[in-house]
């Protein structure tokens, strides 16, 4: 039987070689954009396995038009783009790529913390625009991190790595999660206390029905005027419009964002603010990590199609 796998975007790390060794045909979307729904259905309809991106909306309508699919491997830790109930009803296994991107995403989170705290954007623009007039005592004053409190929302692998980095900078750690995590550095506190007392707040939670808008306007209003807000999780877990309003009114000091509500159609009001650092969802964007993600996705598909268990299945 000729097994076929389709990837919805061109992937690094040559995953096709892994499929070739197993005698599995592999093809991928070579357009420099996400496929439209009808394009995805057309190209994946006869595939036994699919490697999808977080930006691919694989809802019940799409799933029901996949004639042979046995496994969908999401090239991401998140999987809120896939209708798990519909997949389960069709007997389709869904997998993701956890663990391999934890270090890279933690690095980006801490990069945003540093950049927001120390006015990196403004300083870089000053130099590029050739308007630096020399050192002065109050030039681009920012906040140091030593002795400050970092509040982590979430206590998974990424949050744990960010906490360890923060300890190296002499920060104090508090965190909130669904349960106390003994392996998590720092002290567990209620979410409202975290929002009100942290100097830096960094989000590390998945997007699901329990976390959508978890960081509500009321919680955002608890932040200190000197607080820095960082999100490398998902845009929808926080009230982005209210965050923008707080930044505009200087009710908080700064923000650092790598994710946005309704990506890629993010709120362009963010680009008008000089107290926010903006990145284009590059938390996992290292050569090593993106290759490892591709290989893990491919190996998940191979394992399922060869009759084995998925390596990193998602809970349905």
Residue spans of alpha helices (H) in 37-190: 37-44, 60-63, 84-89, 102-117, 120-128, 157-168
Measured between alpha carbons, how far is 258 from 240 in angstroms, rounded to an integer? 12
The values of phi and psi at residue 228, to 5°, are -115, 130
- CA distances to 37, 77, 86, 267 from 65, rounded to whole Å, are 11, 25, 11, 33
Q: Do 202 and 175 contact (CB within 8 A), yes or no?
A: no
Give the DSSP letter of residue 268: G
Q: In what side-by-side order are the strands of the sheet with 71-74?
A: 25-28, 4-7, 49-52, 71-74, 93-95
Tokens coding 40: 């995805």
In this structure, how many other beta carbons lie within 10 angstroms of the beta carbon of residue 103?
A: 15
Tokens coding 147: 């002795």
The values of phi and psi at residue 270, to 5°, are -60, -35
Cα 145 from chain centroid? Answer: 24
- Annotated active-site positions, please? 234, 263, 281
């Amino acid at each position: 039987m000729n097994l076929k796998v389709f990837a919805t975007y061109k992937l690094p790390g040559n995953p096709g070689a892994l499929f070739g060794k197993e005698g599995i045909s592999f093809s991928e979307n070579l357009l420099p954009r996400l496929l439209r729904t009808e394009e995805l259905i057309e190209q994946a309809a006869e595939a036994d396995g699919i490697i999808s991106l977080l930006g691919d909306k694989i809802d019940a309508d799409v799933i029901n038009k996949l004639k042979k699919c046995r496994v969908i491997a999401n090239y991401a830790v998140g999987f809120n783009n896939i209708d798990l109930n519909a997949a389960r009803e069709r007997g389709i296994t869904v997998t993701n790529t956890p663990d391999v991107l934890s270090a890279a995403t933690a690095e980006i989170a801490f990069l945003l913390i540093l950049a927001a705290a120390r006015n990196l954007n403004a300083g870089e623009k000053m130099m590029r625009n050739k308007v630096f007039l020399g050192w002065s005592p109050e030039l681009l004053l920012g906040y140091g991190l030593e002795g400050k409190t970092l509040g982590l929302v979430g206590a998974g692998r990424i949050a744990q790595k960010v906490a360890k980095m923060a300890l190296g900078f002499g920060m104090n750690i508090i965190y909130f999660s669904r349960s106390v995590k003994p392996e998590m550095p720092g002290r567990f506190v209620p979410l409202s206390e975290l929002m009100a007392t942290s100097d830096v707040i960094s989000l590390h939670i998945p997007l699901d029905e329990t976390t959508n808008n978890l960081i509500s306007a009321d919680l955002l209003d608890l932040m200190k005027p000197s607080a820095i807000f960082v999100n490398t999780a998902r845009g929808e877990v926080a009230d982005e419009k209210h965050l923008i309003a707080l930044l505009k009114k200087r009710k908080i000091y700064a923000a650092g964002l790598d994710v946005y509500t309704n990506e890629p159609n993010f709120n362009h009001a963010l680009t008008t603010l000089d107290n926010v650092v903006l990145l284009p969802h590059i938390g996992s964007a290292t050569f090593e990590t993106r290759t490892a993600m591709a290989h893990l996705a491919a190996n998940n598909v191979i394992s399922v199609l060869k009759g084995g268990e998925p390596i990193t299945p998602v809970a349905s």
